[in-house]
Amino acid sequence: MSKQVRYWLINIVQTLLRVLPFPTRTGLIPIGRPGPEAPVLLTCNFQLTVERVQRALEGIDCWLLVANSRGVNVWCAATGGLLTNHDVIAALKTSGIEERVTHREVILPQLAATGIEGKVIRQKTHWKVVWGPVEAADIPAFLAAGKKKTAAMRTVTFPWPRRLEMAVAWAFPISLVTGLIACFVWRAALWPLIALVWAISLLTFLAFPLYQGWLDRKTKHLGFVFFDFGQGGVQLILWVLVMLVAVGSGWAAGALSWGYILRWGLASLLVVLMVSIDLMGSTPTYKSGLHEDRLLEVRLDEALCKGAAFCEDVCPANCFEVDRTRRLATRPRADACVQCGACIVQCPFDALSFAAPS
Protein backbone atom coordinates (compact mmCIF):
# COMPACT_ATOMS: atom_id res chain seq x y z
CA MET A 1 0.00 0.00 0.00
CA SER A 2 1.41 3.38 -0.99
CA LYS A 3 1.98 6.09 1.58
CA GLN A 4 -0.63 8.30 -0.08
CA VAL A 5 -3.30 5.59 -0.11
CA ARG A 6 -2.56 4.72 3.52
CA TYR A 7 -2.89 8.37 4.55
CA TRP A 8 -6.29 8.80 2.93
CA LEU A 9 -7.52 5.43 4.17
CA ILE A 10 -6.68 6.45 7.75
CA ASN A 11 -8.42 9.80 7.19
CA ILE A 12 -11.60 8.16 5.92
CA VAL A 13 -11.85 5.37 8.50
CA GLN A 14 -10.97 7.52 11.49
CA THR A 15 -13.30 10.31 10.41
CA LEU A 16 -16.20 7.88 10.10
CA LEU A 17 -15.36 6.43 13.52
CA ARG A 18 -14.17 9.67 15.13
CA VAL A 19 -16.04 8.97 18.36
CA LEU A 20 -13.63 6.10 19.05
CA PRO A 21 -10.01 6.44 20.20
CA PHE A 22 -7.35 5.38 17.69
CA PRO A 23 -4.06 5.09 19.57
CA THR A 24 -0.80 4.76 17.71
CA ARG A 25 2.67 4.04 19.03
CA THR A 26 4.21 6.63 21.32
CA GLY A 27 7.85 7.64 21.13
CA LEU A 28 10.21 9.53 18.88
CA ILE A 29 9.82 9.90 15.12
CA PRO A 30 12.60 11.51 13.06
CA ILE A 31 11.25 13.62 10.19
CA GLY A 32 13.75 14.06 7.37
CA ARG A 33 17.33 14.02 8.63
CA PRO A 34 17.22 15.86 11.97
CA GLY A 35 20.41 16.75 13.78
CA PRO A 36 21.15 17.82 17.36
CA GLU A 37 19.89 21.36 16.72
CA ALA A 38 16.68 20.32 14.97
CA PRO A 39 13.39 21.47 16.50
CA VAL A 40 11.43 19.07 18.70
CA LEU A 41 7.66 19.00 18.35
CA LEU A 42 5.24 17.04 20.49
CA THR A 43 1.79 15.76 19.63
CA CYS A 44 -0.79 13.27 20.90
CA ASN A 45 -1.00 9.62 19.89
CA PHE A 46 -4.32 9.88 18.06
CA GLN A 47 -3.27 8.24 14.81
CA LEU A 48 -5.06 10.68 12.52
CA THR A 49 -3.36 13.63 14.23
CA VAL A 50 0.07 11.99 13.97
CA GLU A 51 -0.47 11.33 10.27
CA ARG A 52 -1.55 14.91 9.60
CA VAL A 53 1.33 16.40 11.57
CA GLN A 54 3.84 14.20 9.76
CA ARG A 55 2.35 15.26 6.44
CA ALA A 56 2.60 18.93 7.43
CA LEU A 57 6.26 18.46 8.39
CA GLU A 58 7.36 16.87 5.13
CA GLY A 59 10.52 18.56 3.91
CA ILE A 60 11.49 19.80 7.39
CA ASP A 61 14.25 18.16 9.41
CA CYS A 62 12.84 17.81 12.91
CA TRP A 63 11.96 15.43 15.72
CA LEU A 64 8.33 14.50 16.39
CA LEU A 65 7.62 13.28 19.89
CA VAL A 66 4.36 11.34 20.29
CA ALA A 67 2.95 11.43 23.83
CA ASN A 68 0.30 9.13 25.22
CA SER A 69 -3.16 10.72 24.97
CA ARG A 70 -4.98 7.38 25.06
CA GLY A 71 -5.64 7.63 21.35
CA VAL A 72 -7.65 10.85 21.64
CA ASN A 73 -7.04 14.11 19.76
CA VAL A 74 -5.12 16.97 21.38
CA TRP A 75 -8.05 19.25 22.28
CA CYS A 76 -10.28 16.56 23.76
CA ALA A 77 -7.40 14.77 25.49
CA ALA A 78 -5.96 17.90 27.13
CA THR A 79 -9.36 19.24 28.13
CA GLY A 80 -10.53 15.85 29.37
CA GLY A 81 -7.44 14.98 31.41
CA LEU A 82 -6.11 12.34 29.00
CA LEU A 83 -3.03 14.34 27.98
CA THR A 84 -1.36 15.67 31.10
CA ASN A 85 1.88 17.08 32.47
CA HIS A 86 2.88 13.54 33.39
CA ASP A 87 2.43 12.32 29.81
CA VAL A 88 4.58 15.11 28.39
CA ILE A 89 7.27 14.61 31.03
CA ALA A 90 7.25 10.86 30.42
CA ALA A 91 7.66 11.40 26.68
CA LEU A 92 10.59 13.77 27.18
CA LYS A 93 12.32 11.50 29.68
CA THR A 94 11.78 8.07 28.12
CA SER A 95 11.95 8.69 24.37
CA GLY A 96 15.69 9.26 24.17
CA ILE A 97 15.25 12.77 22.79
CA GLU A 98 17.56 14.22 25.43
CA GLU A 99 20.43 12.21 23.95
CA ARG A 100 19.56 13.29 20.41
CA VAL A 101 19.50 17.09 20.76
CA THR A 102 21.70 19.68 22.41
CA HIS A 103 18.91 22.15 23.18
CA ARG A 104 16.02 21.89 25.62
CA GLU A 105 13.06 23.40 23.80
CA VAL A 106 9.88 21.54 22.89
CA ILE A 107 7.04 22.84 20.75
CA LEU A 108 3.64 21.80 22.06
CA PRO A 109 0.33 22.12 20.21
CA GLN A 110 -1.52 25.22 21.37
CA LEU A 111 -4.75 23.32 21.95
CA ALA A 112 -3.00 21.29 24.66
CA ALA A 113 -2.64 24.42 26.79
CA THR A 114 -5.89 23.69 28.64
CA GLY A 115 -4.37 20.65 30.34
CA ILE A 116 -0.58 20.95 30.21
CA GLU A 117 1.20 23.52 32.36
CA GLY A 118 4.26 24.93 30.65
CA LYS A 119 5.76 26.10 33.93
CA VAL A 120 5.48 22.61 35.43
CA ILE A 121 7.19 21.05 32.42
CA ARG A 122 10.05 23.56 32.79
CA GLN A 123 10.39 22.94 36.51
CA LYS A 124 10.35 19.16 36.23
CA THR A 125 12.41 18.64 33.08
CA HIS A 126 14.26 21.93 32.37
CA TRP A 127 12.69 21.89 28.92
CA LYS A 128 11.33 25.22 27.71
CA VAL A 129 7.81 24.98 26.32
CA VAL A 130 6.93 26.88 23.16
CA TRP A 131 3.30 26.85 22.09
CA GLY A 132 2.92 26.06 18.41
CA PRO A 133 0.04 27.04 16.13
CA VAL A 134 -3.49 25.68 16.27
CA GLU A 135 -3.32 24.03 12.85
CA ALA A 136 -0.64 21.54 11.85
CA ALA A 137 -0.60 23.12 8.38
CA ASP A 138 0.79 26.33 9.92
CA ILE A 139 3.81 24.64 11.53
CA PRO A 140 6.19 25.22 8.57
CA ALA A 141 5.39 28.95 8.50
CA PHE A 142 5.67 29.09 12.30
CA LEU A 143 9.14 27.53 12.20
CA ALA A 144 10.22 29.73 9.29
CA ALA A 145 9.18 32.82 11.26
CA GLY A 146 11.46 31.92 14.16
CA LYS A 147 8.71 30.19 16.14
CA LYS A 148 6.52 33.27 16.15
CA LYS A 149 2.77 33.01 15.67
CA THR A 150 0.49 35.44 13.95
CA ALA A 151 -2.96 36.12 15.39
CA ALA A 152 -4.39 33.88 12.69
CA MET A 153 -2.14 31.01 13.77
CA ARG A 154 -3.39 31.35 17.35
CA THR A 155 -7.09 31.60 16.56
CA VAL A 156 -9.35 28.58 16.21
CA THR A 157 -11.73 28.67 13.27
CA PHE A 158 -14.38 26.22 12.13
CA PRO A 159 -14.23 26.33 8.31
CA TRP A 160 -16.60 24.32 6.16
CA PRO A 161 -14.20 21.41 5.48
CA ARG A 162 -13.81 20.88 9.23
CA ARG A 163 -17.56 21.24 9.74
CA LEU A 164 -18.19 18.68 7.01
CA GLU A 165 -15.71 16.31 8.64
CA MET A 166 -17.48 16.59 11.99
CA ALA A 167 -20.90 16.17 10.37
CA VAL A 168 -19.73 12.87 8.90
CA ALA A 169 -18.11 11.87 12.21
CA TRP A 170 -21.45 12.26 14.01
CA ALA A 171 -23.78 11.00 11.29
CA PHE A 172 -22.02 7.72 10.57
CA PRO A 173 -22.17 6.06 14.03
CA ILE A 174 -25.65 7.42 14.77
CA SER A 175 -26.94 6.16 11.43
CA LEU A 176 -25.48 2.72 12.18
CA VAL A 177 -27.32 2.55 15.50
CA THR A 178 -30.48 3.93 13.91
CA GLY A 179 -30.34 1.36 11.12
CA LEU A 180 -29.86 -1.48 13.57
CA ILE A 181 -32.87 -0.43 15.65
CA ALA A 182 -35.01 0.24 12.57
CA CYS A 183 -34.35 -3.28 11.30
CA PHE A 184 -36.29 -4.58 14.28
CA VAL A 185 -39.03 -2.01 14.81
CA TRP A 186 -39.58 -0.19 11.49
CA ARG A 187 -37.81 -1.83 8.57
CA ALA A 188 -39.84 0.05 5.98
CA ALA A 189 -38.40 3.35 7.24
CA LEU A 190 -34.78 2.17 7.44
CA TRP A 191 -33.37 4.28 4.63
CA PRO A 192 -35.53 7.37 5.26
CA LEU A 193 -34.37 7.39 8.90
CA ILE A 194 -30.73 7.05 7.91
CA ALA A 195 -31.19 9.84 5.37
CA LEU A 196 -32.76 11.95 8.12
CA VAL A 197 -29.71 11.44 10.35
CA TRP A 198 -27.33 12.54 7.62
CA ALA A 199 -29.48 15.50 6.61
CA ILE A 200 -29.77 16.86 10.15
CA SER A 201 -26.07 16.31 10.87
CA LEU A 202 -24.98 18.06 7.68
CA LEU A 203 -27.40 20.92 8.33
CA THR A 204 -26.31 21.27 11.97
CA PHE A 205 -22.63 21.63 11.13
CA LEU A 206 -22.64 23.33 7.76
CA ALA A 207 -25.09 25.97 8.99
CA PHE A 208 -23.19 26.51 12.26
CA PRO A 209 -22.01 30.07 11.42
CA LEU A 210 -25.63 31.08 10.79
CA TYR A 211 -26.91 30.15 14.25
CA GLN A 212 -23.73 30.32 16.35
CA GLY A 213 -24.61 33.76 17.68
CA TRP A 214 -28.00 32.51 18.88
CA LEU A 215 -26.59 29.75 21.06
CA ASP A 216 -27.24 30.22 24.76
CA ARG A 217 -23.92 30.82 26.53
CA LYS A 218 -25.19 31.94 29.93
CA THR A 219 -27.36 29.14 31.30
CA LYS A 220 -26.62 25.66 32.62
CA HIS A 221 -28.12 23.01 30.37
CA LEU A 222 -29.46 19.53 30.93
CA GLY A 223 -27.58 16.86 29.02
CA PHE A 224 -26.38 13.30 28.77
CA VAL A 225 -23.00 12.15 27.43
CA PHE A 226 -22.73 13.79 23.97
CA PHE A 227 -26.14 15.47 23.96
CA ASP A 228 -27.16 18.93 25.14
CA PHE A 229 -30.91 19.17 25.74
CA GLY A 230 -30.91 22.88 26.48
CA GLN A 231 -32.04 24.89 29.47
CA GLY A 232 -34.37 22.77 31.58
CA GLY A 233 -34.23 19.98 29.01
CA VAL A 234 -36.46 21.88 26.59
CA GLN A 235 -35.76 19.46 23.72
CA LEU A 236 -36.87 16.50 25.84
CA ILE A 237 -40.02 18.35 26.86
CA LEU A 238 -40.81 19.00 23.20
CA TRP A 239 -40.20 15.32 22.45
CA VAL A 240 -42.69 14.29 25.14
CA LEU A 241 -45.25 16.73 23.72
CA VAL A 242 -44.74 15.35 20.20
CA MET A 243 -45.21 11.82 21.51
CA LEU A 244 -48.40 12.80 23.32
CA VAL A 245 -49.78 14.32 20.13
CA ALA A 246 -48.74 11.24 18.13
CA VAL A 247 -50.34 8.85 20.62
CA GLY A 248 -53.50 10.96 20.71
CA SER A 249 -53.69 11.03 16.93
CA GLY A 250 -53.15 7.29 16.71
CA TRP A 251 -55.84 6.64 19.29
CA ALA A 252 -58.31 8.92 17.50
CA ALA A 253 -57.61 7.16 14.20
CA GLY A 254 -57.87 3.71 15.75
CA ALA A 255 -54.29 2.92 14.75
CA LEU A 256 -52.69 2.96 18.19
CA SER A 257 -50.41 0.00 18.91
CA TRP A 258 -47.07 -0.70 20.52
CA GLY A 259 -45.51 -0.80 17.07
CA TYR A 260 -47.02 2.60 16.28
CA ILE A 261 -45.62 4.06 19.51
CA LEU A 262 -42.18 2.53 18.92
CA ARG A 263 -42.00 3.88 15.38
CA TRP A 264 -43.03 7.39 16.33
CA GLY A 265 -40.78 7.27 19.39
CA LEU A 266 -37.77 6.23 17.31
CA ALA A 267 -38.27 8.85 14.62
CA SER A 268 -38.97 11.74 16.98
CA LEU A 269 -36.24 10.81 19.47
CA LEU A 270 -33.78 10.56 16.60
CA VAL A 271 -34.55 14.12 15.58
CA VAL A 272 -34.21 15.32 19.18
CA LEU A 273 -30.83 13.62 19.62
CA MET A 274 -29.46 14.93 16.34
CA VAL A 275 -30.39 18.54 17.05
CA SER A 276 -29.01 18.15 20.59
CA ILE A 277 -25.47 17.13 19.64
CA ASP A 278 -23.07 18.81 22.05
CA LEU A 279 -20.64 20.74 19.89
CA MET A 280 -17.82 21.09 22.43
CA GLY A 281 -15.97 18.01 21.24
CA SER A 282 -16.37 19.12 17.64
CA THR A 283 -14.82 22.58 17.85
CA PRO A 284 -13.06 24.64 20.52
CA THR A 285 -15.00 27.67 19.26
CA TYR A 286 -18.05 26.48 21.22
CA LYS A 287 -18.20 25.93 24.96
CA SER A 288 -20.51 23.13 26.03
CA GLY A 289 -23.69 23.94 27.90
CA LEU A 290 -23.14 20.86 30.04
CA HIS A 291 -20.32 22.33 32.15
CA GLU A 292 -20.78 24.90 34.87
CA ASP A 293 -17.44 26.61 34.19
CA ARG A 294 -19.08 27.82 30.99
CA LEU A 295 -21.05 30.24 33.13
CA LEU A 296 -17.94 31.77 34.68
CA GLU A 297 -15.93 34.75 33.51
CA VAL A 298 -12.17 35.08 33.22
CA ARG A 299 -10.95 37.81 35.55
CA LEU A 300 -7.62 39.62 35.18
CA ASP A 301 -5.86 40.97 38.28
CA GLU A 302 -3.80 43.83 36.87
CA ALA A 303 -1.79 44.08 40.08
CA LEU A 304 -0.42 40.57 39.53
CA CYS A 305 0.00 40.76 35.75
CA LYS A 306 3.57 41.13 34.48
CA GLY A 307 2.79 41.05 30.77
CA ALA A 308 4.34 37.62 30.19
CA ALA A 309 1.92 37.18 27.26
CA PHE A 310 1.30 33.46 27.74
CA CYS A 311 -2.42 34.27 27.78
CA GLU A 312 -2.18 35.93 24.39
CA ASP A 313 -0.12 33.03 23.06
CA VAL A 314 -2.56 30.25 23.99
CA CYS A 315 -6.00 31.85 23.72
CA PRO A 316 -7.90 30.08 20.91
CA ALA A 317 -10.35 32.98 20.59
CA ASN A 318 -7.70 35.73 20.41
CA CYS A 319 -9.24 37.56 23.37
CA PHE A 320 -5.99 39.05 24.69
CA GLU A 321 -3.58 41.78 23.73
CA VAL A 322 -0.47 42.58 25.73
CA ASP A 323 0.90 46.09 26.10
CA ARG A 324 4.65 45.42 26.01
CA THR A 325 5.42 48.94 27.23
CA ARG A 326 3.21 48.75 30.30
CA ARG A 327 3.78 44.98 30.61
CA LEU A 328 0.08 44.46 31.06
CA ALA A 329 -2.46 42.16 29.41
CA THR A 330 -5.85 43.42 28.27
CA ARG A 331 -8.93 41.59 26.99
CA PRO A 332 -10.36 43.74 24.18
CA ARG A 333 -12.25 40.75 22.75
CA ALA A 334 -13.50 39.26 26.02
CA ASP A 335 -16.91 38.53 24.51
CA ALA A 336 -15.29 35.89 22.29
CA CYS A 337 -14.08 33.89 25.31
CA VAL A 338 -15.13 30.22 25.39
CA GLN A 339 -13.95 29.70 28.98
CA CYS A 340 -11.45 27.00 27.99
CA GLY A 341 -9.15 28.08 30.83
CA ALA A 342 -5.91 27.86 28.84
CA CYS A 343 -4.91 31.39 29.85
CA ILE A 344 -5.46 30.60 33.53
CA VAL A 345 -3.45 27.38 33.33
CA GLN A 346 -0.49 29.06 31.63
CA CYS A 347 -0.23 32.33 33.57
CA PRO A 348 2.95 32.06 35.69
CA PHE A 349 1.82 34.84 38.03
CA ASP A 350 -1.73 33.62 38.76
CA ALA A 351 -3.09 36.90 37.44
CA LEU A 352 -6.03 35.18 35.76
CA SER A 353 -8.86 33.24 37.36
CA PHE A 354 -12.43 32.15 36.88
CA ALA A 355 -15.09 34.11 38.75
CA ALA A 356 -18.86 34.25 38.84
CA PRO A 357 -20.34 36.93 36.58
CA SER A 358 -20.81 40.23 38.35
Q: Where are the domains of the chain?
A: 3-154, 160-275, 292-355
What number is the average pLDDT over the span 257-262?
83
- Judge contact between 285 and 158, C-beta under 8 A: yes
For domain 292-355, the CATH architecture is 2-Layer Sandwich (3.30)
- Judge contact between 249 and 241, C-beta under 8 A: no
Give the chain's mean pLDDT.
90
Residue 113, pLDDT score: 97
Are 3-154 and 292-355 in the same CATH fold? Answer: no
d(Cα 247, Cα 232) in Å, to the nearest integer?
A: 24
* pLDDT cut 90: percent of the chain above it: 62
Rg of the chain on CA atoms, in Å: 23
Q: Specify which residues 227 forms β-bridges with.
A: 224, 277
Q: DSSP H helical segments within the chain, as ranges?
A: 3-16, 47-56, 74-79, 85-94, 97-100, 118-125, 139-144, 151-154, 160-185, 190-206, 208-211, 234-252, 258-275, 310-314, 342-346
198 or 3: which leads in pLDDT: 198
Residue 212, pLDDT score: 79
**The CATH classification of domain 3-154, taken from the options 3.90.79.10, 3.20.20.150, 3.40.50.10890, 3.40.50.11600:** 3.40.50.11600
d(Cα 136, Cα 237) in Å, to the nearest integer?
A: 42
Residue 163, pLDDT score: 93
58 or 274: which leads in pLDDT: 58
Residue 280, pLDDT score: 67
220, amino acid identity: K
Q: How many CA atoms lie within 13 A of 135 on its CB side?
A: 15
Band (pLDDT 50/70/90 cuts) for residue 260 is confident
